[in-house]
Amino acid sequence: MSRTREHAYAVTVRWTGNTGEGTAGYRAYARDTEITAAGKPTMIVASADKTFVGDPERWNPEELLVASLSQCHMLSYLALCALKGVVVTGYEDAARGTMVESAGTAGHFTEVVLAPVVTVADETMAPSATELHEDAHRACFIANSVNFPVHHAPEIRVARQG
């Protein structure tokens, strides 16, 4: 009889690089981020997942993979926004990944879902801000390197209504 276990990993990647102008220009913002997860320090100290006899208070490789996908998408997205005139003033992604482990086989990720909440400076930028997620997905080196789907479900907010 085969036994299947599913594991879920959730991280938040927050852009902290708004230097006051958002993405008004390609060099106008810092690429700084904070990666957090419930019960984990922001400085990277790592172990295995608790399921695999690791320290649950330390980062595990699975969380770091989800964080890498989230951060890569975000950095690609911010660059595209800067180049296309979309001024992003805030970005936070509550990314989650699913890994399945079956008896007699190694575990594998089945998907990662990125759920970025993006704030843009003006409502006229919202349509482009939404569309640029597709381009960012295609540009992300990490997403292009994995053998499972990486989905994104963005939410666009407007800092000020026109």
pLDDT tens per residue, range 33-89: 788 888 887 767 777 788 887 888 888 899 999 999 999 999 999 999 999 999 999
Residue positions counted in the chain? 162
Per-residue model confidence as pLDDT tens digits over 7-16? 888 998 888 8
Q: Are 126 and 133 in contact (CB under 8 A)?
A: no
pLDDT at 105 over 70: yes
Query: What is the predicted pLDDT for the residue at 87?
Result: 97
φ, ψ (nearest 5 deg) of residue 100: -115, 135
Q: Give the integer Cα–Cα distance in Å for 88 and 100.
A: 35
Give pLDDT, residue 162. Answer: 55
Read off the tokens for 61. Answer: 């490789």
The token duo for 92 is 């936070």
Question: What is the distance between the alpha carbons of residues 115 and 151, in angstroms, rounded to a whole number?
Answer: 9
Provide the greatest CA pair distance for the chain. 61
**Residue 120 · residue 161 · CB < 8 Å:** no
Cα(96)–Cα(3) distance, integer angstroms: 23
CA distance 97 to 13: 13
CB-CB contact of 91 with 30 (8 Å): no
Q: Percentage of the chain surpassing pLDDT 70?
A: 96
Q: Identify the weakest region by mean pLDDT among 37-46, 129-138, 148-157.
A: 37-46
Which residue's entry shows tokens 């276990």? 5
Mean pLDDT within 138-156: 96
